[in-house]
């Protein structure tokens, strides 16, 4: 299975080069078409609040957005100029929608979305929960690159967080477009190993299916032992030396995730290696 179209969402100059380097590794492998997307935020004016906004405010905001867009395009051009894969720059305005709405619209026609990890230092209304919304609403696998991550390989050594759910099942199959043909894949199941092959049939069956692609596949059981699931996943990935973590995302309702806490949200904030999410 190969990637044909990759959408790279460029939102911040501090992360754009790192995100592009990861996308380029995948694009080179399959000669995929890379779309660099930047969505310009709109100046939000709430009609319920009576206030006058001077013209100079609009002009200053527009000038700032134009300069930011050009900086991102320069980074995109610098990364793609010497590459052999096809690429295009796409600049959209959010207008009356949000940045996430525009990204989701573009994501529906691609194989993979690549984004930077959320940046807590930028508290902008239209950027809040951006990654989560794209994962939940686009219907496409989303690869999130950690802050400051420098990629030499991507998809060569993989940890797949597995449970018998729709989201994890989709993640297991979505990753085939992203990982190397000869990748080492560790299927991590966070529960107590029973030693009963029948009770663990779905995990062993998945391992056999992935091995047919040519991967070196192993099954690992780890007990949660009071740790957060996200921490167990991250620790195992670190121990193995993985360059990619794959997981199903947001298997519960937004209300449940907000009250109980979600593995997906914890990984979005704190993961140290790229994570591929499928919903």
> Domain boundaries in the chain?
5-145, 157-278
Q: With a cut of 70, say whether residue 44 has pLDDT above it.
A: no
Specify the pTM.
0.88
Q: Does the CA dihedral 79-40-131-207 come out positive or negative?
A: negative
Confidence of residue 137 (pLDDT cuts 50, 70, 90): very high
Cα–Cα distance between 270 and 147 in angstroms, integer? 9
| DSSP state letter for 261 | -
- The two tokens of residue 253 are 């309702």
When pLDDT is averaged across residues 228-249 and rounded to a whole number, the result is 94
Instruction: Say yes or no to pLDDT of 43 above 70.
Output: no
Integer angstrom CA distances of residue 170 from 139, 164, 276, 279: 11, 11, 11, 7
Q: Select from 221, 206, 278 the least CA-distant residue to 244.
A: 278
The reply to whether domains 5-145 and 157-278 share a CATH topology is: yes
Q: Indicate the pLDDT class of residue 214, thresholds 50, 70 and 90.
A: very high
The whole-angstrom distance between residue 244's C-alpha and the CA centroid of its chain comes to 11
Question: Which superfamily does CATH assign the domain made up of 5-145 to?
Answer: HUPs (3.40.50.620)
Q: Which CATH class is domain 157-278?
A: alpha beta
259 or 89, which is more confident = 89
Q: Per-residue pLDDT for 235 more than 60?
A: yes
Mean pLDDT of 166-180: 95
Query: Residue 92 pLDDT > 80, yes or no?
Result: yes
Instruction: Report d(CA 183, CA 179) in Å as an integer.
Output: 6
- Pairing status of strand 275-278 against strand 142-145: antiparallel
- pLDDT band at 110; cut points 50, 70, 90: very high
């Amino acid at each position: 299975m190969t990637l044909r179209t990759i959408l790279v969402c460029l939102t911040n100059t501090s992360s754009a080069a790192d995100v592009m380097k990861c996308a380029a590794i995948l694009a080179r492998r399959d000669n995929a078409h890379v779309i660099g997307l930047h969505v310009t935020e709109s100046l939000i004016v709430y009609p319920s609040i009576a206030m006058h906004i001077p013209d100079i405010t609009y002009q200053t905001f527009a000038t700032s957005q134009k300069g930011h867009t050009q900086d991102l395009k320069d980074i995109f051009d610098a990364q793609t100029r010497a590459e052999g894969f096809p690429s295009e720059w796409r600049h959209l305005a959010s207008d009356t929608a949000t940045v996430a709405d525009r990204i989701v619209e573009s994501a529906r026609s691609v194989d993979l979305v690549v984004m930077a990890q959320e940046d807590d230092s930028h508290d902008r209304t239209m950027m809040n929960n951006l990654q989560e919304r794209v994962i939940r609403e686009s219907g496409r696998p989303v690869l999130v690159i950690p802050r400051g991550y420098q990629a030499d390989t991507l998809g060569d050594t993989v940890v797949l967080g597995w449970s018998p759910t729709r989201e994890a099942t989709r993640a297991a199959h979505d990753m085939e477009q992203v990982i190397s043909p000869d990748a080492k894949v560790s299927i991590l199941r966070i529960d107590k190993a029973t030693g009963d092959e029948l009770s663990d049939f779905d995990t062993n069956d998945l391992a056999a299916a992935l091995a047919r692609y040519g991967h070196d596949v192993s099954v690992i059981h780890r007990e949660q032992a009071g740790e957060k699931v996200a921490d167990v996943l991250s620790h195992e990935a670190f121990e193995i030396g993985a360059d990619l973590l794959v997981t199903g995302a947001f298997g519960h309702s937004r209300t449940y995730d907000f009250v109980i806490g979600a593995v997906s949200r914890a990984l979005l904030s704190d993961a140290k290696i790229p994570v591929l999410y499928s919903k």
